Chains A and B, each alone.
Chain A
Amino acid sequence: MNLMWDYLTNGDNWSGDGGIADRVFEHLALCLGSLLLAGLVALPIGTMIGHGKRGDDLPIALGTVGRLMAPLGVFCYFALRIDTGNSSVVFALFLLAVPPMMTAAYTGVRLVDGAAVESARAAGMMPGQILRQVEIPMALPDLLAGIRKSSRQVVAMAAVGAFVGADGLGRLIIDGQNEDIRDYGMVATGGVLIGVVALVLDGLIVAIGHRFTSPGLTARPVAGPRRTAQAAVTYPTMPGAPPPPLNT
């Protein structure tokens, strides 16, 4: 950790081309770019499939296959097939970020309370209105969970992408192992900063999501009643017996 501290406190490592500040921005650009692309593709398709009656197999199959893919292998393949560097890594990140988002959007919309959808229809809403005004708002927590999952994975995978020549914080990890440099402080700094970026991005998504989620959904208890409430169950007593003492 001392090596990392030395690296972090040396001002030369921060500024300039390929400095830490640069690397953080590159990392964010990689992640946000591929997340945006993936969201534009995955979320509309996922919600549409959840809203409609057909095509359930697509998000389920994609989710299953996407879970099994090793990001490093996908990067290496695209790097050899297309080109090394940022563009092919962004493309691979986009492909890897689509499945979790699409599955989450699909399950979220599909699991919206049927009674709510039915009442919306009874109140005279058109299918488009139901989707926009009932199903998507009610599925928002699930959509956000999917976006968070994707962003978590993308931040981690983007770091691995440095192996095939992408920019970003992964560069510190890869370059730090280079024979000419051999700086463990640099490697550890890269690792820690990736963790920080992941935490900040996750916190931002939660904060923004909370702002847009209907208060009726956030006030809902998420994990059921507390155990203490369950412990207050009163056992049946014999007829004519004195009432049980009150729990304090």
Chain B
Amino acid sequence: MGPGGRVVNWAWDNRRYIADLLGDHALLAFVPLVIGLLLAIPLGVLVAHAPRTRFPVLTLCAFVQVVPALTFFVVFPALLDTKLDDRINVVVSLSLFTVAVLTRATADAVRAVPAHVRLCADAMGMSGLARTMRVELPVSLPAIVAGLRTAAVACVTLASASAVVGVRGLGTMFTEGYDTGFETEVLVGVAAVALTALAADVVLVRAARLFAPWARLVPVR
């Protein structure tokens, strides 16, 4: 039996365990995505409409993106007074990362709304809030989803690195497989993480088609 067969067999025999880890991993990776989205959209709109906030906020975002996630994983326990292997640290770190990615994407997308579209909304007598909610955000939805896709894939893979500090998730299969010298478990873990990330990506693409059928997808960088 080749390595592929062994991987599939082991995964099938341990499907309960993998599903369990997958649940933990989804908590680690997707809760931050929701938190980040909810925080980043108002922040991005603010940055797009108030040029003065642009430089400080976007610089902070760039800073958060450059600093590795592992740094946040090990620094937050001190700031939040939690244990090193508490999943809260990972959720907070990845939320911060998602906010950084999405604020930039939202700000750029809202600024890129064509001037004539904005003028039309004004001419129809929309208030500032209505214009933002009903014109600017829907028009910039494809670009925001592109940012969300990047963030989603990055969150899923970054969350697996948190196994190094002992947080339970799909990454646990890497550390366990390494400690016991069991190659197949590591391979199953790699495949599980990749498939989860791919699934998140595909779901977001579908959602974008559903909510913004008029728009072509913005390529992911």
Contacts and interface: CB of A to CB of B under 8 A. Distances in A.
B71 A191 contact: yes
Contacts of B157: 67-71
Interface in B15-58: 48-49, 51
A58 interface: no
Given A70-B189, A77-B183, A227-B51, A173 B160 contact: no
Given A76-B174, A184-B78, A70 B160 contact: yes
B143 to A, nearest CB: 13
B215 interface: no
A80 B181 contact: yes
A223 B108 CA distance: 8
A228 B164 contact: no
Q: Choose among B51, B71, B154, B221 the residue with the greatest number of A CB atoms under 10 Å from its CB.
A: B71
B137 interface: no
Interface string A221-236: 0011011101001000
Contact of A202 (B66, B111, B181): B66
A28 interface: no
B165 A173 contact: yes
Q: Which secondary structure dominates where chain B touches chain A?
A: helix
Given A227-B111, A233-B119, A72 B163 contact: yes
Contacts of A68: 153, 157, 193-194, 197-198
B67 interface: yes
Interface residues of B, number: 52
A184 B194 contact: no
Interface in B159-193: 160-161, 163-166, 170-171, 173-175, 177-178, 181, 183, 186-187, 189-190, 193
A47 B140 CA distance: 31
Contact of A177 (B72, B166, B173): B166
A62 interface: no
A198 B115 contact: no
Contact of B73 (A67, A191, A227): A191
Nearest to A2: B78
Interface stretch (A9-17, A35-43, A126-134, A156-164): A156-164
B159 to A, nearest CB: 9
A195 B74 CA distance: 11
Nearest to A228: B51
A233 B74 CA distance: 51
A77 B178 CA distance: 8
A77 B190 contact: yes
Contacts of A177: 84, 165-166
B60 interface: no
Given A187-B74, A228-B51, A80 B111 contact: no
A217 interface: no
B63 interface: yes
A116 interface: no
A191 B154 CA distance: 19
B183 A188 contact: no
A46 interface: no
A73 B84 contact: no
B77 A163 contact: no
B110 to A, nearest CB: 10
Contacts of A71: 157, 161
Interface in A159-181: 159-160, 163-164, 170, 173-174, 177
Pick the 3 closest A-B CB pairs, nearest first. A156-B68, A191-B74, A73-B190
22 contacts: A1-B78, A68-B193, A69-B157, A70-B161, A70-B170, A70-B174, A70-B189, A72-B171, A73-B186, A76-B177, A152-B66, A156-B161, A163-B178, A184-B77, A188-B75, A188-B77, A188-B78, A192-B71, A195-B68, A199-B67, A202-B66, A230-B115
Given A72-B174, A190-B74, A195-B67, 14 more contacts: A68-B153, A70-B193, A72-B161, A72-B163, A72-B171, A80-B177, A159-B68, A160-B70, A160-B161, A163-B178, A170-B164, A191-B74, A198-B68, A227-B48
